[in-house]
Structure 1
Amino acid sequence: MSREGAVAILGIFVADLAFRAGRLPAVGETILGSGFGIGPGGKGSNQSVAAARSGAAVSFISRIGRDTFADIALKTWTAEGITPRVTQVDTPTGAAFIYVHETRGDNAIIVVPGAAGELCAADVDAAADAIRDSRVFATQLEQPVDAARRGLEIARSAGVITVFNPAPAGTFDDVLFGLSDYVVPNESEAEALTGIAVSDLDGARRAGDALIAKGAGTALITLGERGALFHRKGCSIHVPPFRAGAVVETTGAGDAFVGGFAAALARGADPVEAAIFGSATAAISVTRVGTAPAMPHRAEIEALLRDQRAS
């Protein structure tokens, strides 16, 4: 039986190795950067931290190695109150190279999933009780597609709300859309999945129609500084952006949105209100350095929502 406020997330953990500089170097070139940091990352783990800080009881399903990066993972989940449903293997824990522009905060990323790249349907079956006991299940595509599909199948058969973040966008069977109550891509992912340019709200709506035609219940397309589009049959709502301060780093914004959205859904929020909560979560995250460490807590998000409504 699903528990109110409970969220299960399937995905990867990697150690984020973030480098700040004025530009990316050319091939064969070495440049000096202005900053460096190492911390917890990976879309699934980041979303788990965002959901936990947003008030959800979170179980995280993954694989990690037996190394220093795995120690970072376990320490992070303990500190955030996340229940790990992970298998430890001899394959090294993954890592991500993150370039962050030193003034604009935009980024470019290379991810190597490592141990989590070996996630399979059997790993998901071993944690099926965590999925069935949750109100919301979320997954992405940094781990193998077969694992994501199995998680969505278990959740759907148990009546658990399913959230599919198709990131990074790749090739997969459209059956995953049909297993998803909410598909949450960003602009570039929506375009890659539909072939429709998402340069404005009209383009986002056309892409949303295409995602629904593929079987998705609702297309929730994040639009960066323009907010998000909540789009389903008979309902298309622009979720406005929030301003929480100067943008420092945008790396974890999408994960903040998904985690906040999932947490709000899990405690019974109206889906549009949950999307607004996710938008506010993302807005705060971009004012801070890092990915998981940048995720705000529920009290901060609710304060931003109150301020926005009062203005």
Structure 2
Amino acid sequence: MSDIVILGVFVADTAYRADRQPRMGETILGRSFALGPGGKGSNQAVAAARAGGRVTFLSKLGRDTFGDMAMDTWAAAGVVPAVERGETPTGAAYIFIEEGSGDNAIIIAPGAAAEIDAAFIDQHAGLIGSARVFVTQLEQPMQAALRALTVARKGRAITVLNPAPAAELPDGMLALCDYVTPNETEAEALTGLAVTDLDTARRAGRALLAQGVRRAAILTLGAQGALFHSADRSIHVPAFDAGPVVETTGAGDAFNGGFAAAVAEGMDPEEATRFGCATAAISVTRPGTAPSMPDRAEVLALLGR
């Protein structure tokens, strides 16, 4: 049995580095191109497994080269796949990386994973309900995420929603979540409150608790680290310095995977937030998404400095 079950999407990342994005109708020369494994849920599963968690990843893939890439990625990381493979092609992502800063802009085409539905979730209800920690995001259809969170709550799993990409949630969805982990943009989409500093992050955290989040809102704040906000404590966890930033793509996924692994092993959620921040800090010093995820020893070494 896996301690952590993650529902999400695998896509093949096609990453382009250039000084800037082209304007509409314009062609520019890029500095480099890379093809590799991606998708928020898959990245989080890899991060959690490398951080020491026992992880099963739940998704759909095509019977194609990108699907084979997914299976190889999970095998290397120690992630157990619970996937259905069909004729719809595996998804892909366009990632633009700004050469000077490492910041990114992304377009996701989920492919086969867009066919994940409530019936698929019900087929795997036993797996979801038996998890210690269940994690999902919003790259697969919303109704599938909602159904999976409902099943996980009935099974008494600790539920984590990474509400990315930003989207309007159905009524009552946040009440199914023990933890919600938005970045600044996603927090604003959920609360209507712009997050620009710690004070506004705390306001957004209070708003998320008022909307039903059960244990805590954890706002990831990029270079500012993260804010852990619950009914009885509000704690800023500063970002760790693990070295020069190469690429920020996948940093949020690293955080969520590290956090899930720490919670699954019984770590206090504030300490789990620190563990997630350390995981993310190492990931941004490396190119790629899934390939940038650190192993447990690296995270513990950074925490011990």
TM-score class, shorter-chain normalisation, is over 0.9
Equivalent residue for 1:117, pick from 108, 114, 119: 114
Report the Cα distance in structure 1 between the residues aligned to 2:163 and 2:231, rounded to whole angstroms: 20
Matches within 5 A, 1:296-311: 296-307=294-305
Q: Which amino acid aligns with 1:204?
A: A
After TM superposition, the score normalised by the length of structure 2 is 0.98
Instruction: State the secondary structure of the residue aligned to 2:219.
Output: strand
Q: Which residue of 1 aligns with 2:125?
A: 128
Percent of pairs with identical residues: 62
Supply the AA of the counterpart residue of 2:304: R
Q: Name the aligned partner's letter for residue 71 of structure 2.
A: L
Deviation, 1:290, is 0.2
* Paired letter, 2:18: A
CA contact (8 A) 1:254 1:282 kept: yes
* 1:174/1:214 contact within 8 Å kept: no
| Matched residue, 1:197 | 194
Matches within 5 A, 1:222-241: 222-241=220-239
Corresponding position of 1:63: 60
RMSD value over aligned CA atoms? 0.9
1:56 to partner: Cα distance:
0.4
Aligned to 2:282: 284
Contact 1:11 1:142 in 2 (8 A): yes
Matches within 5 A, 1:15-164: 15-164=12-161
Q: Distance in 2 between matches of 1:213 and 1:193?
A: 12
Asked if structure 1 preserves the Cα contact closer than 8 Å seen for 2:168 and 2:189, the reply is: no
Name the CA distance, whole Å, in 2 between partners of 1:130 and 1:225: 36
* Other structure's SS at 1:166 match: coil
Deviation digits for residues 246-274 of structure 1 (CA, Å, limit 9, x no counterpart) = 00000100000000000000001001000
Are positions 1:293 and 2:291 aligned together? yes
1:215 to 201, 212, 215: 212
2:6 partner SS: strand
1:182 aligns with 2:201: no
Structure 1 runs (4+) greater than 4 angstroms displaced: none
The aligned counterpart of 2:240 is: 242
- Counterpart CA distance in 1 for 2:279 and 2:260 is 11
CA deviation after TM superposition for structure 1 residue 174, in Å: 3.0
Q: Report the CA distance between 1:133 and its aligned residue.
A: 2.4
Q: Partners of 1:127 and 1:80 in 2: how far apart?
A: 22
Q: CA deviation at 1:176?
A: 1.2
2:21 partner amino acid: L
1:13–1:41 contact (8 Å) kept in structure 2: yes
Q: How far apart, CA to CA, are the structure 1 residues paired with 2:87 and 2:172? A: 33
Figure out how many residues of one structure are paired with residues of the other and give that number. Answer: 304
What is the TM-score with the length of structure 1 in the denominator? 0.96
Q: Which amino acid aligns with 1:270?
A: D
Shift of residue 127, structure 1, vs aligned partner? 1.6
Could you say what secondary structure the match of 1:170 adopts? coil
Q: Distance in 1 between matches of 2:132 and 2:45?
A: 14
